[in-house]
Amino acid sequence: MLLLHPFPEEPQVRPPVLAYLSNAQFAPVNMRSWPAVRGAIRTGVGQAVMKGGDPESVLASFDEAAVKADMEAATG
């Protein structure tokens, strides 16, 4: 059985996006606390960029939500 490769020769240059994958950071979807944290981010991120918004306090609230969700996931 003859299998044909879609590219007769392997490309010599990798696409630029592949260079970034080794340093990529992905959402921690394997953590049980992630859904709660994701929800806090979705509902609160707009407050950081609104006129008169306070990005520092918004990010701190995300951190607090993450700690709370981690504690609840660990005990529940």
pTM of the entire predicted model:
0.58
Query: What is the C-alpha separation between 29 and 63, in angstroms, rounded?
Result: 16
pLDDT for 13: 61
Instruction: Determine contact, residues 73/32, Cβ cutoff 8 Å.
Output: yes
- Is the Cα torsion angle 31, 36, 41, 42 positive or negative in sign? positive
pLDDT tens per residue, the chain (76 residues)?
Answer: 555 556 666 656 666 777 778 888 888 888 888 888 889 899 999 888 899 999 999 999 989 988 998 888 888 7
- Cα radius of gyration rounded to whole Å, the chain: 21
Closest CA to 39 of 71, 61, 55, 24: 61
pLDDT for 28: 84
